[in-house]
Amino acid sequence: MLTVGEILKKERLSKKITFEDIEKNLRIRKKFLIALEENSWEKLPSLTYIKGFLKNYSSFLGLDSEELLAIFRREYQEQERSGVLPSGLSHPLNEPIFRLTPQLTVIGVILLFIIVFFGYLFFQYKIYISPPNLIITKPAEGETLLSEKVDVSGKTDSDAVISVNGVKIAISAEGEFSTILTLPPGVNTIAVESTSKYGKKKTASRTIQVQINQQ
C-alpha cells in the first residue's frame, strides 16, 4: 500500500507538475513539499501545518483530500505507537487548526462592535429616509354610509403628525388616531397624511358614499 508521500509524488509526476508550480500556486515552500512526499514529518513545522499542507496539496493535485488525510492518520498513529515521531509532533490528531487566542478574542470583539455600530447607523438612516407607516382602519374604501357623521380612524408611527382633510388631529402613545368628520351627501374623498419627525410624508385616502334618507 502506498504511503501518503508516495501517492502525492506519483500523482504530481503523472501530471508533470513541478515543485515550483505548486509553490507558486499554494504558497507552500518547496522544502515542505519535498518533506511531504518523503513522509519526513519531522521536517515540517507542526501537525497542524502537516494536515493543512496535505489538504491543500492533495486538492491541488485533484486527489480526495479527506481520503488522503485518513491514510495519513493511520500512518501517523502507527509511527506514534512505534515512537518514531519527534516529540514536537506527538499530540492529538484531532487538534483544531483554528485556536482561539486572546488576540483573536480582542479582534472579534472589535469587529462585533464595528458591525453593531454601523448596523445602528444604517438603521437610523433608514428611519430618516423612510416615510412613516400609515393604516386607515375606518372607513373602508368605497363604503356607503347612512350618516353624515363619519368616523375616521387608523394607526401611524407614535412620533408622527396626522392630518385628516388638512386638519391636524391628536394621536395616542401607540400611534392610534380617530376623528369624526361631518360630510355632505354624495361622494366624498377623505385624505389622511402622516408626517414623520424627519419631515417624510405618507398619504392615504378613502372614497366613500354618504347617503342620507330624506323623510
- CATH number of the domain bearing residue 64: 1.10.260.40
Please state the pTM of the whole predicted model. Answer: 0.43
55 touches 30 (CB < 8 A) = no
Geometric angle at alpha carbon 102, from 99 and 107, rounded to 5°: 95
Residue 182 within any structural domain of the chain: yes
Number of domains composing the chain: 3
pLDDT recorded at residue 98 = 57
Which structural domain, as residue segments, surrounds residue 63?
Answer: 4-89
Residue 95 within any structural domain of the chain: no
- CATH number of the domain bearing residue 174: 2.60.40.10
- Same domain membership, residue 141 and residue 125: no
Q: Calculate Rg over the CA atoms of the chain.
A: 37
pLDDT values of the chain reduced to their tens digit, one per residue, 215 residues: 789 899 999 999 999 999 999 999 999 999 999 999 998 888 888 888 899 999 999 999 999 989 999 999 888 888 777 765 554 554 444 445 556 678 888 899 999 999 999 998 888 888 777 889 999 999 999 999 998 999 999 999 988 999 999 999 999 999 999 999 999 999 999 999 999 888 889 999 999 999 887 55
- The torsion angle over the Cα atoms of residues 121, 122, 123 and 124, rounded to 10 degrees, is 50
